[in-house]
Every structure is written in C-alpha cells, then in structure tokens.
C-alpha cells in the first residue's frame, strides 16, 4: 500500500485539525509526536495524535514531498492526497471568517483579540486554502467533481449546494480574499 503524500508539514497540521475521531466523532486531532524516517523510497513522517474529546490515540504515516513550500502554501501544483476540496474550502472560509475586510477595523483591546498580524496570517491561509480547492478542478472542467470529495461532510455540502464548488464562484471568492490580503499587506508595511 502506498502511503498518502504530505506535501508540507502545514498540510499535515491542517489534516489533523479537520479530521474526525473514528471513536467518538469529535473534530480535531492534536499532534503528540512526530518522527521523520528516512527510507530507500524517500522520507516518511510518522505522527501520533490524540482526539481532543476522548483522548484516543491515532497514528498516521505519510510520504514526504521533496520540496516543502513556504508557509502558508500547502503544497505544489497537484491536488492534496490528505484533504479533499471541501475540507480546503471549509478551511478557507473559517480562516477568512473572522478577518474584517478593512485592516483599520482591527482594534485589539484584550490580549486574545485579533491583531493585525493574526488577521494577515488568517487571510493568507484563506487564500492558500482556496487555491488548493481550485486544484481539484481539472483543466477544461467547470466544477469540483463529487468524487474529489472524500469526507461525508464535503459530499453533503456538495449535494446541498453544488454551485459552491463551481470554478467561477471559487475564483470570484478568491479574488475577494486576495483584495483583503493586499489591504493587510499594505497595512503591515
């Protein structure tokens, strides 16, 4: 059996954060250990995780990409083998969800309030995650295919609202995210 390819450490962390525990169904696994193994076929990452709800231990092994992209990119030109198009879309929407369109609206008062730096990072993640969603649409096609959705949640969302996965809609949303990103980049100077 060929191990799935982890294109970056960041992609592994996103995978754990979006995974559900097979024991209790709880969302989000916490990484507790990582071991990098060198094999004749290439590097392999072995991860031990724990469910945040029931504390069940789960283990995962992934092939490693030769070149890891800089943060916040998740991987190269090919679609992910760890997360499906719907999971990347969910990640993009969650990351962008708390970020005001205008950096001037960021006014942290409490220590846990969103800072300009936090918002800049979140919108960068949103852009990268939405770019990943688009990688699941083959050239010449107009939408993510349902078989590019591996999780029940992603397939359910597709069945409820297939337009969400259309190339033109995703590109329009990505354009909006990029405009917000550019505003934060200017504000960070």
Q: pLDDT tens digit string along 25-42?
A: 998 899 999 999 999 989
Residues 131 and 184 reside in one and the same domain: yes
Residue 72: cis peptide before it, omega within 30 degrees of 0: yes
Residues 60 and 96 reside in one and the same domain: no
Give CA–CA dist 35/38, Å, rounded.
Answer: 10
45 assigned to some structural domain: yes
3-state class (DSSP) for residue 84: coil
Model pLDDT, residue 112: 85
21 assigned to some structural domain: yes
Residues 43 and 100 reside in one and the same domain: no
pLDDT along the chain (189 residues), means of 10: 92 94 92 95 95 95 93 94 98 96 92 92 97 97 96 97 98 98 92
CA-nearest of 18, 5, 131 to 68 is 5
Residues 46 and 89 reside in one and the same domain: no
Total of domains in the chain:
2
Residues 95 and 166 reside in one and the same domain: yes
Residue reference for tokens 């590097």: 43
Residues 17 and 100 reside in one and the same domain: no
Give CA–CA dist 171/110, Å, rounded.
Answer: 35
123 assigned to some structural domain: yes
DSSP letter, residue 139? T
Model pLDDT, residue 188: 82
Residues 26 and 102 reside in one and the same domain: no
Model pLDDT, residue 49: 96
Residues 96 and 41 reside in one and the same domain: no
Model pLDDT, residue 1: 72
Residues 91 and 121 reside in one and the same domain: yes
Residues 94 and 174 reside in one and the same domain: yes
71 assigned to some structural domain: no
- Whole domain around residue 20: which residue ranges? 5-64
77 assigned to some structural domain: no
Q: Based on the number of CB atoms within 10 Å of its own CB, is 142 exposed (0-12), middle (13-18) or buried (19 or more)?
A: exposed
Residue reference for tokens 């029931």: 54
Residues 108 and 53 reside in one and the same domain: no
């Amino acid at each position: 059996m060929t191990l799935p390819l982890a294109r970056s450490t960041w992609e592994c962390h996103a995978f754990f954060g979006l995974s559900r525990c097979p024991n209790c169904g709880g969302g989000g696994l916490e990484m507790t250990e990582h071991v990098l193994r060198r094999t004749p076929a290439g590097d392999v990452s072995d991860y031990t995780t724990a469910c945040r709800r029931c504390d069940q231990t789960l283990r995962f092994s992934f092939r490693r990409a030769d070149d890891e992209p800089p943060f916040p990119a998740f991987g190269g030109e090919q679609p992910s083998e760890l997360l499906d198009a719907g999971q990347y879309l969910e990640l993009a929407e969650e990351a962008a969800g708390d970020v005001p369109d205008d950096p001037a609206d960021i006014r942290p008062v409490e220590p846990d309030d969103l800072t300009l730096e936090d918002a800049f990072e979140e919108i960068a993640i949103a852009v990268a995650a939405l770019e990943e969603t688009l990688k699941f649409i083959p050239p010449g096609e107009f939408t993510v295919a349902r078989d590019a959705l591996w999780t029940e949640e992603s397939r359910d969302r597709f069945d409820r609202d297939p337009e969400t996965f259309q190339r033109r809609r995703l590109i329009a949303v990505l354009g909006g995210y990029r405009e917000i990103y550019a505003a934060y980049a200017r504000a960070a100077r």
